[in-house]
């Protein structure tokens, strides 16, 4: 019993690899969590690792991912490398018995995701896709309202994610070989909205535009479900869009306001009234998925009950289907 109590309060020693902008946000929120410690970071250069470690009080800085994987004091690693490296990096840490929280998209395609999940099961190690939106209070709130049909049945979804960036052939965001382009980078969020609320569609329509290097610049998708229920989804790297998620129900409209994928507000409109709920976030929002992951680790779980393997498999399958329709190959 005493050991069980201790495990419930065990400090989780974290490592981070891929020290770009998302890793900075993750590390900043990690510092706010009781029972979580950023022990080590790794980059391809010692200088970058040292700088990051200094900024976020990590005691160890490595110039290779392999070196961090060999650190026996690491309980969990956050993988924030480019999409194309997710499978390779995940397998490395799973082989060393280190729990993995891997940034979305989990990998480049269904085959890679299946391989990662198989390795996690084989080694009996916790693995989870880091799709942080699923753990944010405002999103959980909306999902519960829809699940309980508080405002009647869900009839239609509209979700978009778009921002303008000047094209740069050398930037990761536009590098097709690294999984760059609008679909895998940001289109995953509107698709996630549809999957997490309506499930797998019966039919998909999709059209896209492309940059000169073959990476997709925009993607328009329409998911069709039974009873004429639809989800109209879009992603864009060539214009700023509202980046909202709107759920049209029989007796009301639920809208997650701008930047729906990160901490935001929710506006509920019915015939009787219109109200906006502020969830009074005090962090960037990455702490919620970490708290969930830490708890899973303390309880000896090897799979999330929220971001399940089945959900991650379905999500990547939908991305694969859209890619097939728009003729996008990596």
For residue range 245-282, list pLDDT tens digits in order: 999 999 999 999 999 999 999 999 999 999 999 999 99
* Residue-level pLDDT at 330: 87
Q: Give me the chain's average pLDDT, please.
A: 96
Span 168-195, mean pLDDT?
A: 96
Pairwise CA distance, residues 108 & 242, whole Å: 27
pLDDT bin (cut points 50, 70, 90) of residue 227 is very high
Instruction: Please determine, for residue 153, whether its predicted confidence score (pLDDT) is greater than 50.
Output: yes
Span 114-142, mean pLDDT?
A: 98
Q: Which two tokens stand for residue 310?
A: 């089945």
* Residue-level pLDDT at 9: 78
pLDDT bin (cut points 50, 70, 90) of residue 29 is very high
Span 201-210, mean pLDDT?
A: 98
Task: For residue 64, count CB atoms less than 10 angstroms from its CB and return exposed for 0-12, middle for 13-18, buried for 19 or more.
Answer: middle
* Residue-level pLDDT at 2: 41
* Residue-level pLDDT at 254: 98
* Residue-level pLDDT at 159: 98
Q: Which two tokens stand for residue 21?
A: 């902008």
* Residue-level pLDDT at 4: 46
* Residue-level pLDDT at 18: 97
* Residue-level pLDDT at 61: 98
Span 174-182, mean pLDDT?
A: 94
* Residue-level pLDDT at 5: 43
Instruction: Please determine, for residue 310, whether its predicted confidence score (pLDDT) is greater than 80.
Output: yes
- Provide the β-strand partners of residue 103: 130
* Residue-level pLDDT at 100: 99
3-state SS of 86-150 is: HHHHHHHHHHCCCEEEEECCCCCCHHHHHHHHHHHHHHCCCEEEECHHHHCHHHHHHHHHHHCCE
Query: What structural domains does the chain harbor?
Result: 2-130+286-299 (3.40.50.720), 134-285 (3.30.360.10)
- With a threshold of 0.85, does the pTM exceed it? yes
Angle between helices 21-30 and 287-298 (to 10 degrees): 60
* Residue-level pLDDT at 1: 42
* Residue-level pLDDT at 248: 98
* Residue-level pLDDT at 145: 98
Instruction: Please determine, for residue 37, whether its predicted confidence score (pLDDT) is greater than 90.
Output: yes
Reported as a single tens digit per residue, the pLDDT across 56-111 is 999 999 999 999 999 999 999 999 999 999 999 999 999 999 999 999 999 999 99
């Amino acid at each position: 019993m005493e050991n069980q109590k201790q495990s419930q309060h065990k400090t989780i020693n974290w490592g981070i690899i891929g020290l770009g902008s998302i890793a900075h946000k993750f590390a900043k929120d990690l510092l706010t969590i009781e029972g979580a410690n950023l022990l080590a970071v790794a980059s391809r250069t010692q200088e970058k690792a040292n700088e990051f470690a200094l900024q976020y009080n990590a005691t160890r800085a490595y110039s290779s991912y392999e070196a961090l994987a060999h650190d026996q004091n690491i309980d969990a690693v956050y993988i924030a490398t480019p999409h194309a490296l997710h499978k390779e990096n995940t397998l490395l840490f799973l082989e060393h018995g280190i729990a993995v929280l891997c940034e979305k998209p989990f990998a480049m395609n269904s085959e890679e995701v299946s391989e990662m999940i198989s390795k996690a099961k084989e080694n009996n190690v916790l693995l989870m896709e880091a799709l942080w939106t699923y753990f944010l209070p405002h999103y959980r709130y909306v999902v519960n309202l829809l699940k309980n049909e508080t405002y009647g049945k869900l009839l239609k979804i509209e979700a978009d994610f778009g921002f303008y960036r000047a094209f740069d052939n050398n930037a990761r965001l536009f590098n097709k070989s690294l999984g760059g382009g609008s679909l895998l980078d940001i289109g995953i969020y509107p698709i996630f909205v549809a999957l997490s609320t309506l499930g797998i569609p019966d039919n998909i329509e999709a059209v896209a535009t492309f940059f000169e290097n073959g990476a997709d610049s925009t993607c328009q998708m329409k998911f069709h479900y039974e009873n004429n229920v639809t989800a109209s989804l879009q992603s864009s790297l060539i214009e700023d869009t509202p980046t909202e998620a709107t759920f049209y129900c029989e007796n009301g409209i639920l809208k997650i306001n701008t930047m729906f994928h990160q901490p935001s507000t929710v506006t509920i409109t019915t015939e009787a009234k219109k109200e906006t709920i502020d969830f009074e976030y005090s962090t960037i929002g990455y702490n919620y998925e970490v708290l969930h992951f830490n708890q899973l680790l303390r309880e000896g779980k090897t799979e999330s009950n929220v971001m399940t393997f089945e959900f991650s498999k379905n999500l990547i399958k939908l991305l694969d289907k859209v890619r097939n329709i728009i003729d996008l190959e990596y």
